[in-house]
Amino acid sequence: MSRLRMTPDAREALTRAGFSRRTFLKGAGVLLVGFSAAVVTEETGVAQRPGPFASQNAAIAGEVDSWLAIGRDGHVTAYTGKCELGQGMYTVQLQLVAEELSVPIERIHLIQCDTGVTPDQGTTSGSQSTPTNFNHRNLAQAAATAREALMGLAAGHLGAPVAALVLADGVIRVKGDASKQVGYGTLIGGRKFNLHVSPAARRKPQREWTVLGTSVPRVDLPEVATGTFEFVHNVRLPGMLHGQVVRPPAVGATLVHVDEDSVRGLPGFVTLVVRHNFVGVVCDTPWHAIQAARRLKATWTPGVELPKQADIYAHLRAQQPSRDLLVVDSGDVEAMLRQARTTLTATYLYPYQMHGSMGSSCAVADVKDGKATVWSPTQSAYPTRSGVAMLLGLPIDHVHVIFKRGSGCYGLNGADTVSYDAALLSQAAGRPVRIQLTRKDEMAWENFGYAYVIDQRLGIGPDDAIVAWDYEAWLPTFGNRPGYSRPGNVVTGFLAGFDPEPFEPRHATPPTGRFRNGSNVAPSYVAGCIGGACGGAGTIRSERVLTHTVKSFFFTGPLRSPSRLQNTFAHESFMDEAAAHVKADPVAYRLKHLSDTRLADVVKAAARRAGWETRPSPHAAVSRAGIARGRGIACVAYEGDNGYCAMVAEVEVDQATGRISPRRLVMAVDCGSISNPNGLRNQAEGGALQGMSRVLGEEVTWDDHRVTSVDWETYHSLPVGFDIPVVETELIDRDGVPATGAGETTITIAAAAIGNAVFDATGARLRQAPFTPERVKAALAARDGAAAAHAGVAQA
Amino acid sequence: MDISLTVNGRAHTVDVDPTSPLLYILSDTLGLRGPKFGCGLGQCGACTVIVQGRAVRSCVTPVRGMQGASITTLEGLGTVEHPHPIQQAFIDEQAAQCGFCVNAVIMTAKAFLDQQPHATEPEIREAMSSVLCRCFTHARMMRAIRKYAAHRAAAAEGGAR
């Protein structure tokens, strides 16, 4: 335990708070003690099955001391397993603690995602940080419990009932008697609370908030803007070496031979590391490591032949076996479609896309004497600890993972894999090793967002309402987040000989249990009824939603709004097709099919804010040439109930070039009670524009053997200088309503909102992302061709 | 090979591989945190530094050509206590998410606007056309850049009077 290495930040905070490192490790809130039978629950945000490598300290999430410590000087140290990835979580968690404890933010130090000291909250992901830590549990509830305990201690100390006390700035006073007061430091400084987090502790009601609910500026931005912030890329250790990896030249290639002589005499060369199909070099400087990796002569098998990119969607449909899931099935869809006045069908296509982080991923590891410390940008500190332990063959408690912010990730970029790289290289070198992946290694081998083929059918009844909705989709997967026991889910673990999670085919069985729409696989307009209980956001009772997961040849993983975005693109575009078919206004037609009032409210709010003109699409005055202008709407109840959002997009389409220029994006967002309005706006804006970039240009490409979108000329991200639209966000703050996720709401609907606006402008329907100029021109040509004017629409 | 550089006003003589890109000298030999490796290909801007008033992509600039050069990095503009006006504009607008690209955006925009204080909006966009931000904080960043442009233009006017 004494070998535990703390970050200077953590050490400084503890010292300042009046703890010696030694007493801290023995006493307050620390976790290296063995916990028997780990209780791993969703409550802590850890959704992993218990197993030999599962979290060992999720159980301690029930203890106040796991979340908070108060120093003799009254300073507060808080611990969180939800880290700052660029979404403002660091600042807003400070606000949370400040609010519940009535302590100024400046007197709080927050330590995030450090397996030495913070609670295991699994992965910072899935729009779960706010719901997990800001509602009635975990960090929020621990702080509320602590405040009540401190008030109780003060009552004893001051000889007055709690009801006679007032609290401000970490000092408790007796009402009307200024001489009687006591601070937190005196009450408990340097000692443990020894308290369970109490579900009964009273959270401060939103109307009493003075810190939470306000736009506190990000505390990290002054350092970021002045170039002094320490990213993981800036971590430097004494005696540190630099590594690079040599990935296979083709998908599926395995190592035959490595010629160490090809690099042995190179300047600065230290060692070659080979483990199964993992190959890396370690040198004295980053530049020498890059040179050595380039010059290393290695022989590989040819790998697999990849399906032609042009045939990918047919390939996905044809894959057998598949893992099938019926999310909902009313059993009468075919009959209702046969009876319907009109049946619409359409197929939507979505490509593999990548996280493509601005900075390639980087980690630093120091493995020696059977212990490992890894400075990692992973979103999953504890799971990464397990993965590193498995890779290095070390006991789990001999591995320490310290989160250090990396480049924005939005899911699963190279952060986990590079942490494994660093650990393997350092273990071999016996010295600290830093590695930052090359651009190509980052982009060619990350876990891409899923490609999708989605077949939609719906039936329209005599009153123009939708009477049945049928959805069937195919998506490829391979690997995933490594979790606590699957390092083979990312490329380094896989190359080092660990299997990814197995692909388990299964036939669809009738849906049971509660309807859940966590991947937004069902449209918002269906009732979502299973066994008589309905959990959907809409009114359509005849419904079937069926997915086929097939094997991917690339690694896949959660890219911001995973599946939710692809599904919502298909649902919201198809809804628009239905509205257009019956010549209904797209907003009114949506509202007609929604039962969820929060979703309906954001639709109305976005339309109102945008000055929505009630009329059907396409625009009556569509001209077939020149610049066309139009507007479209889309909405989503993210994951069914984790954030509500609608967007109106206004676009211009140059019908000669096929270029789409979004001019205005107007959003309404309801994420329950709002912790930091400007932070929420930042997320909404960034999500909308990222969604715009993804739908206008982003697509992973490949040839017969390898990924070819490996830099910013071959993978198209809209630059800062792009003529970006005006972005307006209306926030709906719901007092006292549990906080939901927010960061994945707007991105989910950007594609459909823009596609629907293009239809409104031109009468051309875009069903394949990204909306490249070529595809737009093809859609315009289809519009103009008499036979193709009703492509995909069959009169029943 | 010994190379003499002045970085943020401080003179350094460093013994380096002359083929090494300037970036590694700045970030590893000198331990600076502003310039970053983003792509290593000069495509994203993360490594941008200012040399003789020009934005230079240090990841594709061999250090051997920088003998005697005077280089400014993001940390050379201002400090947390006294940020440069363009840094202050980014803080005021909360124009960042992960912050990894902030070096790219600030250094490119500053070099451009200092040369062309009266640049038009399309000219600014053109100057930023090969700078990336994958968090898509574009709207806020452009607001911050315009704020600095207004400041710069006012300063230029003041200077002319």
Same domain, B25 and B47: yes
- What pLDDT score was predicted for residue A46? 36
Same domain, B57 and B89: no
Rounded to whole angstroms, the Cα distance separating A306 from A705 reads: 6
- What pLDDT score was predicted for residue B158? 77
Question: Quick check: B113 contacting A, CB < 8 Å?
Answer: no
Same domain, B92 and B147: yes
Cα-atom radius of gyration of chain B, to the nearest Å?
A: 16
Same domain, B7 and B72: yes
Rounded to whole angstroms, the Cα distance separating B122 from A753 reads: 26
Do A224 and B28 lie within an 8 Å CB cutoff? no
Q: Which domain holds residue B129?
A: 85-157
Exposed, middle or buried, B9 (CB in 10 Å: 0-12/13-18/19+)? exposed
Rounded to whole angstroms, the Cα distance separating A55 from B41 reads: 40
Mean pLDDT along residues B10-36 = 97
Residues 6+ apart with CB under 8 A from A787: none
Composition of chain B by helix, strand, coil, percent to 5? 45, 15, 40
Rounded to whole angstroms, the Cα distance separating A760 from A650 reads: 10
Q: Provide the CA A320 distance to its chain's centre, in angstroms.
A: 30
Show the low-confidence residues of chain A (pLDDT under 70). 1-60, 786-796
Rounded to whole angstroms, the Cα distance separating A123 from A4 reads: 22
Secondary structure element (H or E) that encloses residue A178, with its range: strand A177-183
CB atoms within 10 A of CB A217: 15
- What pLDDT score was predicted for residue A795? 42
- What pLDDT score was predicted for residue B143? 98
Same domain, B64 and B33: yes
Question: Quick check: B125 contacting A, CB < 8 Å?
Answer: yes
- What pLDDT score was predicted for residue A49? 33
Do B38 and A678 lie within an 8 Å CB cutoff? no
Same domain, B71 and B89: no
Same domain, B71 and B132: no
Do B33 and A689 lie within an 8 Å CB cutoff? no
* Distance in Å, alpha carbon of B120 to nearest chain A alpha carbon: 13
Secondary structure element (H or E) that encloses residue A677, with its range: helix A677-696
- What pLDDT score was predicted for residue A12? 53
- Domain end position, chosen among B39, B60, B77: B77
Question: From the list B36, B83, B98, which residue is nearest A86 (CB)?
Answer: B98
- What pLDDT score was predicted for residue A55? 41
* Distance in Å, alpha carbon of A643 to nearest chain B alpha carbon: 20
Question: From the list B106, B131, B135, which residue is nearest A408 (CB)?
Answer: B135
Whether residue B6 has pLDDT greater than 60? yes
Question: From the list B36, B97, B125, which residue is nearest A87 (CB)?
Answer: B97
Type of residue found at A260: E
- What pLDDT score was predicted for residue B9? 97
Do A222 and B21 lie within an 8 Å CB cutoff? no
Rounded to whole angstroms, the Cα distance separating A411 from A561 reads: 9
The number of C-alpha atoms within 13 Å of A52 and in the hemisphere containing its C-beta is: 6
- What pLDDT score was predicted for residue A4? 37
Identify the three-state secondary structure at position A45: coil
Backbone angles phi, psi at A578, to 5 degrees: -65, -45
Closest CA to A494 of A426, A420, A412: A420
Q: Provide the CA B152 distance to its chain's centre, in angstroms.
A: 16
Question: From the list B17, B33, B141, which residue is nearest A227 (CB)?
Answer: B33
- What pLDDT score was predicted for residue A785? 86
Closest CA to A87 of B94, B143, B80: B94
- Domain end position, chosen among B45, B77, B109: B77
* Unique residue bearing structure tokens 């739908």: A695
ipTM of the complex model: 0.98
Same domain, B60 and B89: no
Q: What is the DSSP letter of A502?
A: P
**In the numeric block, which tokens belong to residue B80?**
């947390």
Chain A, nearest residue to B22 by Cα: A287
Same domain, B65 and B126: no
- What pLDDT score was predicted for residue A269? 98
List the CATH number of the domain containing B113. Answer: 1.10.150.120
List the CATH number of the domain containing B23. Answer: 3.10.20.30
- At B156, is the pLDDT very low, low, confident or very high (cuts 50, 70, 90)? confident
Same domain, B96 and B114: yes
* Distance in Å, alpha carbon of B99 to nearest chain A alpha carbon: 6
Same domain, B14 and B30: yes
Number of structural domains found in chain B: 2
CB atoms within 10 A of CB A44: 25
Q: What is the DSSP letter of A477?
A: E
Do B134 and A222 lie within an 8 Å CB cutoff? no
Question: From the list B27, B43, B91, which residue is nearest A225 (CB)?
Answer: B91
- Domain end position, chosen among B77, B107, B142: B77
Backbone angles phi, psi at A609, to 5 degrees: -60, -35
**Do the beta carbons of residue A581 and residue A533 sit within 8 Å?**
no
Same domain, B133 and B93: yes
Residues 6+ apart with CB under 8 A from A772: A658, A696, A697, A699
